[in-house]
Structure formats: structure tokens, C-alpha cells
Structure 1
Amino acid sequence: MAVIDGNVMAINPGEEAKMQMFIWNNIFFSLGFDVRDHYKELGGDAAAFIAPRNDLQGVRVYSAVDLQGLYTLGTVVIDYRGYRVTAQSIIPGILEREQEQSVVYGSIDFGKTVISHPKYLELLNKAGQQLKILPHKVYNDKKEIIELCSSVECKGIIGNDGRHYILDLLRTFPPDVNFLKLEGEELSIEVQAMGFPIEHKHKLCCLRQELIDSFVEARYMMFIKYAAFHLQQLGVKKQRE
């Protein structure tokens, strides 16, 4: 591939090789490295290598929802010669301004500064009804309460074409605590007997959408059976009276 083979000029040629980014045929290319310590607490380069895959899963499910007015980036993740390359379409106008000026929803610094936007709340709330993502509130670094309908890493940018784009969807799904060692939290004895928690090099292990859908469906069935049982008991009680 031209980017890895060095046949495409980087847009930041003065940076270290693993920090370089590229644009070719109106497609943005980036490498799977922790270039600015964004993933330092999550596993460094190991987390940066996994993040594009998780992001791709997020893009896939939001694209499948196909909500009018909400747009994702065309995204491809490529493994080539030991490198993980993410290729994405470019939001119109994004290169004409700084990221801080572009983002109107979410956080660009992993939760320190968090902002929200009413239109994004409306769109993501509608999408969340299908993806089982509830609106929730978080605190920013100023202890202000901010309402979100996604993970805090999710960013919303309004392009020059007026469309509402979302990106950085790597935490669309909940983390799998069976692969995380959390202070003050212990798994059940049965789970520990199976060898969990299994600690990975990174902390970006997420549950799959199929598991979440199956869990919700099982809970619905449990509720229906529970309600039917009590209705039956109520009917028997009335007959006896």
C-alpha cells in the first residue's frame, strides 16, 4: 500500500514516522499508534491498535440504524505489513479549522472538557433506542453536569455541508469487566474459578452487539413470563373470591 511503502507525502512530514498522517484521493489515513499518549492509561500502543477495530464496529452499527440526519464517516481498517491503518472519508471543512473549533458534542481530551449539543442529543437519543444506549449525565473538569447520549469519546462535528457527523465510536458498547481488573470490584467465585478476570495488554475489551441484543431479549422474555404468572395468579385469586 502506497502509504506504508512511503509513496505518499505525509501532511505532517516533520513528525516521527508513527505520528504521521496522510491524505490521498480525499481519504485520510492514520496509523495505529498512541501518538500523543491518548491511550496511555488504556494500554498505550496496544490500545491504539485495538481502537480502530472498536471504532469500526461503532460505525457499522450506527450506519445500520440509518437514522435520517445522522452521518458517520466511511471507514476501513487495513492490516498491512504489521501496520494497522485506518482510512476514513473527510468531513467537509474539517481541514480548514482546528479540532477544538469543530467539535460541538463530546470530548476531545477523554472527558476533561465535555460539551453537548441539542441536535446531537435528539439524533443520538433516537439512534440509542435501537442500540440500547440510554441518555446519561457526566461531569466535566469544572464539575458541570453535561448530558450525553453516547460515550464521552464520541465526537460530533457539523460539516460545511450542514450534516451532523459522529466519529470516534470506539466505546459505543459497554466494557467487558471479565477482562478488566477494577479496584474495589470482585467477580463472583464461579467466574474467578474459570480464570477471570483475564488481564489484556489494553483496557478496550468491549461487549459485542449480539450479546447485548440477546441479553435485552432474554430480559424481555423474563418480564413477560413474570407478568403472565402474576396475571394468572390474580385470575385464580378472583375466581376463589
Structure 2
Amino acid sequence: MGENKTTADKMTYERVADVLREQIKSGQLAPATVLPSERQFAETYAVTRETIRRAIAQLRTEGLVQVLHGRGAFVRRPGDWPTQTYSRTITVDGDGNYVDSESTVGEWRDIQPPRMYQTNAEAPLALAFGVAQGTVFHASDRDLENQTGTRIFVRSYLPDFVATQFPDLVDGAYVSARQTYAAARNAGMQLDFDDYVAARNPTPDDAHSLRIPDGIPMLITRRIVASEGKPIIMQETHRSGEETQLHYRPSI
């Protein structure tokens, strides 16, 4: 099969993944078990080998199996399973707008109203944008929580000299990354996205607000969005590193 999948095909691989996931979590498929070959699985479930590949890829994304080239797929130990997987993707909606999967409406809700303010760039921010220290930025902070009680903190930085190109973005209301993407697109800009990940010990404020236990590092992801090589906005996310993995898709 090619890349164009029907809804039925998609559901088939998801159903196969559901069955295998349950067998792994119930212990029916023990840790270090080698999964059957694609051919054997395809015969067992009466589906194509491509469907099996997609099901295994899904379980691999969830951290339930490990695929070793030339040796097959192995069940991972329960202690190796991440309890939280966060997708970091940029997609394009039906109107041609860029959509950030991480902090869009749906999984996350604001704990308190977003905060917007101006700040002057210190060295790290200035270096990230290639501007002089003291450059004026518009910043916005969001404290978000999902249904499981997991919290993240998201901060966005928009340089004032970029914001002047989009005057509707700085009228005192909260400005989201998605609004900035849309404004840039409407201005004819082609956007490029780069993500950077680092770990550090949380500050006391971060540990308290994100509920990070003692001794657990904080994961920081920075997404820098540029047009023609010039950064226009940066979004920085803080979260607990405990049993967490980030899932990247390399293309839009």
C-alpha cells in the first residue's frame, strides 16, 4: 500500500496495536519476548504486512517495544515504559494554517489566564535570535494542565521589530504562537521550525508549579520559528522529566 490510507486501513492497524498493547501490559507477552514476524502477524490477524508495520511503529512510539535491526521487535520491561508521551509536530489545517500539536486546545487547559508583557532580551534570548542584548520582546506565559493532572509551562517570545509587521498581534490581548504563524503566513512568509531539547534542575518555582519531585530534572524544549533564516518567534516549554518522552515527526 502507498501513503494514502483509507479510514478502514487506519482503524485496522490501531485495532492490532490495541490487542498487542493489552497483551504486553497484561503480561501475556513477557518482557524480552521476541514478537512474531510480520508475515506471521499478518496471517494471524488477516491484515497486510504494512498494517502490522504501522501497529508495531505505534507501540514503538509508546515505548512498549524495541526494534533491533535484523533481530526483530522485542517487548520492553515495564520499568522502561514512559508514562507520558508528548507529540511535537507542526501540521497544516484545512485553511493552510500551521498548527502546533503541543499546546492547542484539546488536551491542555489553562490553569489561569495567560499573561502577556514586555521584556528586554538578556544574553541567552539575544543569542537565540541573533539580536543585541536589551532588544524589546513581547512575551506570553501559560500554565497548562491536562486531564491526568500533568502540568507544563509554555512561554513565547516575539521580538518587537517582528511584531510591528503584525500590529494586530500586540493590542494587549494574549498572543499565541498559532496566531503569529497565521499572521506570518498572511504576510507571505514561509516558515521553518527547529526544536532544541535540554535538561536542567528545576528552580523552586518550577518544581512547585509543575509538581516536580525532588531529584527529577526538568525538560526544556525550545521551538524557534524562522522565515528566510531570521527567527520570528520562540516557544519554550518546561515539564517534569519523570517517565517522559518526546515524540518528533521530522516533517510537516
Give TM class, smaller chain: under 0.3
User: Higher strand proportion, which one?
Assistant: 2
Kindly indicate which of the two structures has a greater share of residues assigned to helix. Answer: 1
